[in-house]
Amino acid sequence: MMRAGAHLRFAGAWGKLVRFSSNRKGVAAVEFALIVPILLVMYFMTMEASQAIETSKKVSRIGSMVADLVTQQPTIVKADLDAIMKIGTSTIQPYNRSTPNITITAIQVTTDTPPQVNVVWSRKVLNGVNSVGATAGTATTVPATLRVAGTFLIRVESNLAYTPIIGWTTDTQQKLGLTRSLTTTIPMGETYYLRPRRSLTIPCSDC
């Protein structure tokens, strides 16, 4: 009888084990719990990368648009320059976690031998505040292909310190092994040159 009872208990335990192994509900729950964090990380990384790329394109677009508006003017004043830079700043919307900095510089390449490259006037917006850029009369640089004697150029520099959507504290940075470069802002910038469209130079009377 004892042997028969032991056999029955063994058979019952074996049956429970078989039923447990064939029940996929628990396995599915465990798999879901393991996969969800990975999917969330992939989603946020994809979203962050796509927004960073789009913002970088907008920063580049600021330079071309601002330069195009300035070079269409035969003459200009600082109020016009400030208004144009404000238009350029609005291009970055709806991204608004940081403000782009824009510098407009009028450059004259002299007819000397060799040609000198000097600032004629300059205006900038830095952290939302408009002010004078580079000092008039100081030397500056341009690409070698644009260093043509007697040339007047408008240079627009647009820069943005991109702030990612996902921020990391010092504690999470250490736990996840992240470097500082991945947890701070990402620099984005573009420099654009154009020649005047309607005149040989573009004087600014009050810059």
Q: What is the pLDDT of residue 16?
A: 56
Phi-psi region of 135 (alpha: psi -120 to 50; beta: other; left: phi over 0): beta
- Structural domain boundaries of the chain? 2-194
Report whether 70 contacts 76 (CB < 8 A).
Answer: yes
pLDDT digits (tens, 9 = 90+) for 118-165: 999 999 999 889 999 999 999 999 999 999 999 999 999 999 988 876
Position 97 pLDDT exceeds 80: no
User: What residues does 152 pair with on adjacent strands?
Assistant: 108
Torsion of CA 143, 149, 151, 153, to 10 degrees: 30
pTM of the complete model:
0.72
Q: For 58-69, how does the pLDDT look when each residue is reduced to its tens digit (9 = 90+)?
A: 998 999 999 999
3-state secondary structure of 204: strand
Measure the CA–CA gap between 30 and 205, rounded to whole angstroms.
72
Mean per-residue pLDDT of the chain: 81
Cα dihedral 171, 174, 179, 183, rounded to 10, equals -20
Record the tokens describing residue 103, joined without a space.
């510098």
- Asked if 164 and 186 count as a contact pair (C-beta separation under 8 A), the reply is yes
pLDDT at 178: 44
